[in-house]
Structure 1
Amino acid sequence: MNRLLSFFLLLALGTGCSQSLSVDQFADTLIINGNIYTVDTLLPGAEAVALRGGRIIDVGSTADLMALRGDSTEVIDLQGRFMMPGFIEGHGHFSGLGYSLINLNFLHTSSWEEIVQMVAEAAAQAEPGEWIVGRGWHQEKWTETPSPSVLGYPYHDALSAVSADNPVMLRHASGHSLFANAKAMELAGVTAETPDPSGGEVVRDSRGKAIGVFEERAMSLINAAYDDYRAGLSEEAKTEEWYRAIELAEEECLKKGVTSFQDAGSKYFELERYEQMAEDGELDLRLWAMVRHSYDEMKDNLDGYPKIDIGNHYFTCRAIKSEVDGALGAFGAWLLRAYNDKKGFTGQNTTPIPEVKNIAQLAMDNDMQMCVHAIGDRANRVVLNIYEEQFSANPEKENLRWRIEHAQHLDTADIPRFREMGIIASMQGIHCTSDAPFVEKRLGRERSRLGAYPWRSLLDEGVIIANGTDAPVEDVDPLLSFYASVTRKRADNGFEFFPEQRMTREEAIHSYTLGNAYAGFEEDFKGSVTKGKAADFVVLSHDLVNCTDEAIPESKVLMTMVDGEVRYQAKDF
C-alpha cells in the first residue's frame, strides 16, 4: 500500500512539474545517458543536454533534464557513449576537398607505378584531348624512389606513355607543386628554354631537360593551359560540377564528425554562392571563409565585408588570405638557413612582400582578420614582422586575432612573439606525422627537434592553437589529426617525431573545438557544450579523453548533429 502511495505521489509531482512548463519551454530534443565532454571549464562533464531551436537550453544530469520532456520531445539515448562539441576544421579548402572526391585521388598511394596505372585507367575512359586531373601524390611517401629521378621526383616518360592523347595534371599532396605529362607541357608551351618564373622552379635534370615537375609559381605554366581548356566548357557544366563538389565535401565532413569548416581561401564567386546557400538554408554545416585574391582585385571590392553569421550562423567571411612561401615537401618552405638536402637553396618567397604588406593594410582598414600561409622559419619571421608593423601603426585596434596558417617551422626566438602579439597559430596536427619521415632530411636534427611543429612550446607560452587537416592536402578526418597531436606518431608504422612537443588530450580537443571557434571570433556561439550555444555535436565510439592511444584511430563517428539536427548517423548507432 505504501509503495502504491509513493508511486502516485511521484506521478503527481512529475505531472505537476510538466504542467508548470508552457509548451515553448519544453525541449525539442533531449540527449540523455551520455558521457559528455563539454570543453566548458565550469562544467567539464555531463550526462544530458536539452535542445530547443538549434540551441542548448540546459546541460546536466539525465534525471534533472527529463523535466524538460514534453509530448513532442525527441529523446536520444546515448547509452553511455562519448559525446563532445562537433569538430571544427580549422584550415581546409572546402571546394578543393569536394573536387578531390571527383578527380583522381592519390592520398593513399605508395608508389609512382600505382599512380601511372590509375592515370592509364582514366585515359582509357577519357575522350582524346580531355584533361586528366588528380591530386595527393607525395614523392617522400613512396616505398621506393623511382629510377631515374631528380630530388626523388620521377621523369614524366612512363606517365606520358599511358596518356599520349590526354594532357595530365597531377597536383602534389601539398598543393605546392604538380606533375605534368608531355601533352600538358606541349599545350603549355614548355621547352628547354622556358625560364623559371619568380617564386617557382621547373625541375630539370643535369642536362636541362624538364622532367615534368613544376614547383610553386612555376605551376602557373600548366595551370594556364588547363584554364584555357576549362574556358571551352559550358558555364552550366562547370557550375553543376562545383555544386556537386560542395555536396560531396559536406557529406565527407559530416560522416567524419566535422560540424564547422574554416575555408582557407576562396574567390568571390564561391563566397557569393556560399552566402546564397546559407540564406536559402542549403548548407548542412557551418562555413567560415577567407577571401583569397590579389591586392588589386580586392582593394576596391570589399564593400559589404566582413559578412558575419549569414543564414542563422551558417556562413561567415571575416578574413583575408595571403601567403609568403610554399611547402617543405616541395622545397618551397622559405628558410633562414639552406635545406640540408638541397645545398645552397633556402626555399621560395612565393608572394612579393610588398604585396603581402598591402593586403595586411587592407585587412586592417576593413576590420578583417589577416591569415597568411607561412611554413618555413624565415617565412614565419617575415609575417610576424609585417603583423608587428601593422599593430604598431594602429595601436587603437586590439584583439585582432590575426593568424599564421601552418606555422610549421619556427625559430625558437619567434615563438614568444605569437603570445606577445596575440597571433593565432593555425596548425594542422596531421602534417607533423605525415611529413615526419623527411623533415630531418630537409632541416637537420636540431632545427627539427626545436622548431618543427612546436606545439608544446607554443602552448606553454599561452598561444592559441587552431587545429585541422588542410584538406584535401590530408584526409579531413579529425581523429587522425587528433591522434597525431597527442602522440606525434604515425598511425601506419608507429614512427614517432619528437614526442616532447605533443599536446595533452584536453589541449588537442580544445584546439579542435573552442580553440578553432576562438580563432574565428565564434567562441560565444560554438566550440563547447554550454547553455546558449549552438547544438553542434559529435558522438564517438571511444572516449577521446580516456581511451588508449591505440584506440584513437580506431574510433568511429556514430552521429553528427548540426543546429540540433542529426546530419549523419552510423548504421550501428
Structure 2
Amino acid sequence: MRIPSGNPLADDGGMTDNRAASHDGTATADTVFTGGTVLTVDEDFSTAEAVAVAGGRILRVGTRAEVLALAGPHTETVDLAGAALLPGFIEAHGHPTGEMVMAGPDSVDLRASVCPTAEAVLTKLRAAVDAAPSDGWVAASGWDPLLLSDLPTLSRALLTELSPRVPLSVMHYSGHAAWANDAAMERLGITRDTPDPAGSVYVRDADGEPTGEGREYPAAGVIMGPGRLVPQGEFGPRLEAALRISAAAGVTMTGDLAFSPAAESTVREYFAAGTAPVRMRSYEISGIRDTIPRAEETDPFFRPVGVKIWSDGSPWVGNIATSFTYQGGHAADVIGVSEGHRGCSNYTSEQLLELCRRYMVQGWQVACHVHGDVAVDEVLDVYETVLGENPGTEFRLRMEHCGSITPEQVRHAHGLGVTISFFPAHIHYYGEVLREFFGERADAWVPAGAAEECGMRFSLHNDPPVTPENPLLNMQTAIDRTTRNGMVLGAEYGVSVREAIRAQTIHAAWQLHSEHEAGSIEPGKLADFVLLSDDPTRVDPGGIGAIRVLGTWVAGRQVTGGAPVRR
C-alpha cells in the first residue's frame, strides 16, 4: 500500500492556516527558528542556520538572512540559543492505545521503573486489591522478574493468595503473557474445555486444567479481563497523557502496532481536533476482522496504514522460535525454562501464509513481530511467496524487533524489499540476561549494523511501554551496543551516528508511509521538530543518551519543553 502524498501544501498539518502574503505575493512566516544548528536529515544530511514555518508546515530552510526575509510584522522568532533543531523523532513501533491504560488514576503499573523492588510491586498489588470493590477487577501490568529477580514466581496460586475474592490479573512487562487468579478465571469462564484462540494458548497443567496463564494475543488479552478497559469519557485524556510521554522524549509521530478497530472511531474523534502532541499511524491487530476497509487518507494526524501479526513471542517468556537453545542458569530459572529449551512459532507456515496473504491482497502493509531466527525464515518465506504472487506492488513489508536475525537473513530481507524495525533497548536493559540465556549468540542480537551495511532503510524503536520512550538512548545503544552495566555486545554490529539518526526520523517515517510529510526538515513538510541541548553528530557517541530534549513542536506549535527565547 502506498499513501499518496498529494500537494504537500494542500493541508495545514492539522492546524489552522494563518499564512499571510507579503506585498510581492510570497508567503510570510508565522514562526522563524534561528540561532542554532538545523540538522535537516535530508538526502545529503545537510545543515542550515534557520527555518521558516507557515500554516503548520515548513516554508523555507536556509541561511538566517534567507529565512528572516520571510518574516513579517507578526512573525514570531524562536531563538535556538545554540541548540540543535532536528526533525521530530518517530517511534516506528509503539503502543499508545495500550500505554494509555497506564495513564489512568486506577492504573496498577508494576514496571521496574515505577516499582524498583519486589516488595514495592507486591505492596502496590495488595493496595489495589484492598481498594477494589467486591464486584471490581484489578488489572496490573509490567511484571518484570528479570530486572527484579527476587519477585516470586507468578502463578494462579500466588494471585489467588493476594486476592482470594476480587478478580486479579497481571500482564508480563513484555505484553506476551498474563496470569489470573481463581476469581478472574471463574468470571471469565475459562475451563479445560475452552479452546485456545488462534495464535495463542491458555497454558494448561499435566491434567489439562488451565493454569491461569495466557500466552500471546488474544489469550493474554482475554486473561486481563475488563480491568484494562478505558471508560469512554476518559479515552481522550488518557490517550493525550500517553502521547505526552512520547512528546517529552522528542517524538512527534508514533506507530500503534496493536490497534483495535473497536477504538478507531474514538481515536479519530480525538485526533480530529488537530491539537494532539504526537501524530499516529495505526496497525490493526490481525484476526479481528478478515476484511479491513481501506480508503485513501491524507489526515496528517491519524491514519491506518497496516496490520500487525505476532509470528512468535518474547525471549523473556521463552516462546521465540530459534535454531539454538537456552543455556540454563539463574535467568532461565526465573522465567521457568530449562537448559536446552527452544520456543516455537505461533502459527504453522500454512497459517501464517494465509494470514499475511489475506491482508496483503487487500493492499495493507503487514508488520510481523519476529524474534527467533527460525521464525524469521518462516516470515521471509511467506513474504517471498506473496510478493511473487503480486509482482510490482509496493507493500513495504516490515519485520519487528528481529532479536536473533542473522546478517544473512538481513541481506535476504533487503533483497526482497523487506524493512526491519530493531529494538536496541533489549541490549541496554537486558544484555547480560541475553548473554546468560544464549551465550555468544547474544553478541549478534538486533544486528542493525548488518542492515546499514547492505543499504536497508531500517528504524529503531522502544516499543513503549515495554521500555521507556527514549530515542536518544536508543540511538546511542544502536551505535555502541553497550548495556546499562557497561558490557558491550557485538560491537561490530553497531551503526553510524548518521544512520542512527535516520533510523529515528526519515527511515521510520518511510516505514509508516509518511516520508512525504515527516522525517526531515524540508520545505513543504510538516513543521514537526525536536530541540536538543547538543548536536548528536558532534558529541561522543557514548554521550548521545545524555543529550536533553529542550522542546518539541508539532505543526509549528510547541507541545513540550520550557519557553524558548522569543522575539
TM-score for the superposition, normalised by structure 1: 0.85
Q: Residue 436 in 1 paired to residue 431 in 2?
A: yes
- In the alignment, what sits opposite 1:378? 374
1:424 lines up with 2:426 in the alignment: no
Of 77, 80, 83, which aligns to 2:82?
80
Q: Does 1 or 2 have the higher relative contact order (CA < 8 Å, sep 6+)? A: 2
2:388 counterpart residue number: 392
Structure 2 residue corresponding to 1:308, chosen from 274, 297, 311? 297
The one-letter code matched in structure 2 to 1:92 is: G
Q: Look up the SS of the partner of 1:497 in the other structure.
A: coil
Higher mean Cα deviation, 464-473 or 495-504?
Answer: 495-504
Deviations 1:347-374 (A, max 9, x none): 1322444343223223332222111111
Give the equivalent residue in structure 1 for 2:265.
272
- Summarize the Cα distance change of 1:545–1:391 in structure 2 as closer, same or farther, 3 Å threshold: same
Letter in 2 for 1:318: V
On the 8 A contact 1:97/1:471 being kept in 2, the answer is yes
The answer to whether the Cα contact below 8 Å between 1:54 and 1:534 also exists between their aligned partners in 2 is yes
Q: 1:42 to 1:184 in 2, by over 3 A?
A: same
Q: 1:335 and 2:330 equivalent?
A: no
Q: Match for residue 130 of structure 1?
A: 136
CA–CA distance in structure 2, aligned partners of residues 112 and 193 of structure 1? 35
Match among 243, 247, 253 for residue 260 of structure 1: 253
Work out the CA distance in 2 between the residues paired with 1:242 and 1:201. 29
Q: 1:159 to 1:495 in 2, by over 3 A?
A: farther
Describe the SS at the equivalent of 2:286.
coil
Q: Which runs of 5+ in 1 are unaligned?
A: 1-17
Whether contact under 8 Å (1:324, 1:352) holds in the other structure is: no
Aligned residues of 1:371 and 1:403 also touching (Cα < 8 A): yes
Structure 1 window deviating more from structure 2 (176-185 vs 166-175): it is: 176-185
For the residue of structure 1 that corresponds to 2:546, the secondary structure is coil
- Separation in 2, partners of 1:210, 1:487: 44
What is the Cα-based RMSD across aligned positions, in Å? 3.0
Aligned to 2:126: 120
Separation of aligned partners in 1, 2:22 and 2:309: 56
* Within-5 A mapping of 1:495-506: 495-506=487-498
Separation in 2, partners of 1:71, 1:374? 54
1:298 maps to amino acid: R
Structure 2 partner of 1:171: 171
2:216 paired with 1:216: yes
User: Match of 2:11?
Assistant: none
Answering whether residue 161 of structure 2 is matched by residue 180 of structure 1, we say no
Instruction: Report the structure number with the largest CA radius of gyration.
Output: 1
Larger deviation, residues 42-51 vs 338-347:
338-347
2:398 to 403, 411, 414: 403
Name the SS of the counterpart of 1:36 in structure 2. strand
C-alpha separation between the residues in 1 aligned to 2:354 and 2:208?
37
TM-score (norm 2): 0.86
Contact map agreement 2:80 2:564 (CA 8 A) in 1: no
2-side partners of 1:228 and 1:531: how far apart? 47
1:306–1:368 Cα contact (<8 Å) kept:
no
Q: For residues 571 and 76 of structure 1, what CA distance do their matches in structure 2 show?
A: 10
Are 1:511 and 2:503 matched, yes or no? yes
- Residue-by-residue CA offset, 1:240-265 (whole Å, 9 max, x unaligned): 23323212112212222110011112
Amino acid at match of 1:106: L
Q: Which residue of structure 1 lines up, in the alignment, with residue 473 of structure 2?
A: 480
- 1:521-547 per-position Cα deviation (integer Å, ceiling 9, x unaligned): 221211111122111000012222222
| Identical positions, percent | 26
- Partner residue of 2:356 out of 338, 355, 360: 360
Q: Counterparts of 2:505 and 2:479 in 1: how far apart (Å)?
A: 15
Return closer, same or farther for 1:43/1:292 CA change in 2, 3 Å cut-off: closer
SS at match of 2:231: helix
User: Partner of 2:350: helix, strand, or coil?
Assistant: helix
Q: Is the contact between residue 306 and residue 367 of structure 1 (CA under 8 Å) also seen in structure 2?
A: no
Structure 1 letter corresponding to 2:297: I
Shift of 1:381: 0.8
Query: Which of 449, 460, 464 is 2:453 aligned to?
Result: 460
SS across alignment from 2:297? strand
**Letter aligned with residue 127 of structure 1:** P
Deviations, residues 308-363 of structure 1 (Å, cap 9, x unaligned): 322xx112212111121111100011112333333453213224443432232233
Counterpart Cα distance in 1 of 2:47 and 2:243: 29
In the alignment, which of 99, 102, 118 is matched to residue 101 of structure 2? 99
Alpha carbons of structure 1 residues 19 and 104: separation in structure 2 relative to 1, 3 Å: closer
Determine if contact 1:308/1:318 at 8 Å carries over to the other structure: no
Matched ranges for 1:9-24 at <5 A: 21-22=23-24
Separation (CA, whole Å) in 2 of partners of 1:158 and 1:325: 27
Cα offset, 1:200, TM superposition = 3.5
What corresponds to 2:527 in structure 1?
Answer: 535
CA contact (8 A) 1:429 1:468 kept: yes
Q: CA deviation at 1:520?
A: 2.0
Deviations 1:105-144 (A, max 9, x none): 22223443321111112223222242222212221112x4
Q: Specify which structure has the higher proportion of helix.
A: 1
Give the unaligned 5+ runs of structure 2: 1-19, 329-337
Q: Which amino acid aligns with 1:479?
A: L
CA distance in 2, matches of 1:252, 1:286: 13
Q: Secondary structure at the match of 2:258?
A: strand
